[in-house]
Amino acid sequence: MPVLHNLVSNEELKARMLAETEPRTTVSFYKYFTIENPRAFRDALYLTLTKLKVFGRVYVAAEGINAQVSVPASQYEQMKAALYDFHPALNNLRMNIALDDDGKSFWVLRLKVRERIVADGITDDTFDASDVGDYLKAAEVNAMLDDPQAVFVDMRNHYEYEVGHFDNALEIPADTFRDQLPMAVDMLQQDKDKKIVMYCTGGIRCEKASAWMRHNGYENVYHIEGGIIEYARRAREQGLPVRFKGKNFVFDERMGERISEDVIANCHQCGEPCDTHVNCLNDGCHLLFIQCPACAEKFNHCCSPICMEELALPPEEQRARRAGRENGNKIFNKSRGLLSTTMHIPSPEE
């Protein structure tokens, strides 16, 4: 029986990827459709993608598939054809090709079965995820941005919104998508008669959010087809103004795609204009935060003097300090400060 998971260390896999000479294409895609046997679907898809040297993160659930992957440029068309043929629901699947791509986004294929491809927290059995709002293409998005009766709603997490968004877009201030859904319904009550335009990175979150808004009585609901990625690509191709400002946060090694030259965020340590997300270099922290080059040098790529001090200790003492400590990826939140309590950093399906 073939091996259906990776057996090589992350360090070796990353070294192999960096040694590749052929450029890679980073692409994301998703599709809501019913999968009767997610485990069998996952295993067969793993074999298909492995043969094409695909790296990335893929989630499969009974409700569909969600993927962010990289593929050797010469294999892109073959991968697309293989996906189209893999299941009838994937025929002509929309592929969101990365905008600002160095091909170094992933170095291993991780394909997992999940309860949902988007963790939404919805328990209402009457909810129909297919009853979505109307799609908006690039020109229609720009027209809506000039419509005083339209409200743009950003369905991404606060650290994504911080580095890039549409002007005057409403931020739903929650750490996870499941928390945003009920909050959006409440926050938009006074705008129920307006046009509600929802958007996210690649379309998967705002598509489900548009269905949830319709489920809760909102009638004039729209969402941007293919999210920020597809909007920016099509606007550029069609010679339209790109109205999204700043960076589009992405959940891979790049941590961001430059959409416009505007820098709308600030370094979390000194306050200077900056929109570069990094993880604290201290293995006992790994806080996700924004750090400018000057502070990176000053703090040795750490989030605080405490982490800087710990990083300077001998490896054995660092490990001793971490023993028994609750550790995990954390995210900076302005209301909590750099030394916020440990929290899970949501993945793109959240």
Confidence of residue 107 (pLDDT cuts 50, 70, 90): confident
Indicate the pLDDT class of residue 5, thresholds 50, 70 and 90: low
Structure-token pair, residue 235:
């606007």
Residue 151 falls inside a structural domain: yes
Instruction: DSSP letter for 273, please.
Output: B
Q: Is the pLDDT of residue 344 over 70?
A: no
User: Last residue of a domain, which of 216, 246, 276?
Assistant: 246
142 shares a domain with 57: no
- Region 271-292: what's the mean pLDDT? 93
Per the annotation, the verdict on 302 as an active-site residue is no
* pLDDT band, very low/low/confident/very high, at 255 (cuts 50, 70, 90): confident
The three-point CA angle 142-147-149 to 5° equals: 140
Please state the three-class secondary structure of 220-242 as a single string. Answer: CEEEECCHHHHHHHHHHHCCCCC
Q: Are residues 50 and 83 located together in one domain of the fold?
A: yes
* Side-chain-side CA neighbours of residue 306 (13 Å): 7
Looking at residue 73, its pLDDT comes to 92
Q: What's the whole-number mean pLDDT along residues 113-142?
A: 91
- DSSP assignment string, 182-226: HHHHHHTGGGTTSEEEEE-SSSHHHHHHHHHHHHTT--SEEEETT
253 has pLDDT over 80: no
The pLDDT of residue 3? 52
Task: State which residues form the domain around 301.
Answer: 265-350
Tokens 């969600």 -> residue: 66
Q: Is residue 276 one of the residues assigned to a domain?
A: yes
Report the distance separating Cα 85 and Cα 89, nearest Å.
9
User: What is the average pLDDT score of the chain?
Assistant: 87
Residues pairing with 112 in the sheet = 59
Please compute the mean of the pLDDT values over residues 185-206 and round it to a whole number.
94
Whether residues 94 and 183 share a domain: the answer is: no
The per-residue DSSP string of 52-68 comes to TT-EEEEEEETTEEEEE
Element (H, E) at 15: helix 10-19
- The enclosing domain of 52 has a CATH number of 3.30.70.100
Which residues have CB under 8 Å from 160's CB, separation 6+? 154, 201, 248, 249
216 and 302 both lie in a single domain: no
Q: Is the confidence at residue 15, as pLDDT, over 80?
A: no
Q: What domain count does the chain have?
A: 3
Let me know whether 275 and 184 are in one domain: no
Q: Are residues 225 and 280 in the same domain?
A: no
**Count of helix runs (H) and strand runs (E) in the chain:** 11, 16
Token code pair at residue 117: 């491809």
**Looking at the structure, do residues 159 and 97 belong to the same domain, yes or no?**
no
Of the residues 246, 280, 311, the one at which a domain ends: 246
For residue 343, the model assigns a pLDDT of: 33
The predicted pLDDT at position 128 comes to 86
143 and 86 fall within a common domain: no
* Same-domain status, 228 and 173: yes
Residue 341 pLDDT > 70, yes or no?
Answer: no
In a domain, 217, yes or no: yes
Asked if pLDDT for residue 345 goes beyond 70, the answer is no
Sheet of 164-166: strands edge to edge? 164-166, 244-248, 257-258
Placement of tokens 């000053």 in the chain: 298
Instruction: Tell me, yes or no, whether 256 lies in a domain.
Output: no
d(CA 315, CA 159): 31
8 A C-beta contact, residue 154 and residue 201: no
CB 126 within 8 A of CB 213: no
Q: Is residue 124 part of a domain?
A: no
Domain assignment present for 88 = yes
| 119 assigned to some structural domain | no
Q: Looking at the structure, do residues 239 and 269 belong to the same domain, yes or no?
A: no
Which CATH number is 224's domain given? 3.40.250.10
Residue 125 lies in a domain: no
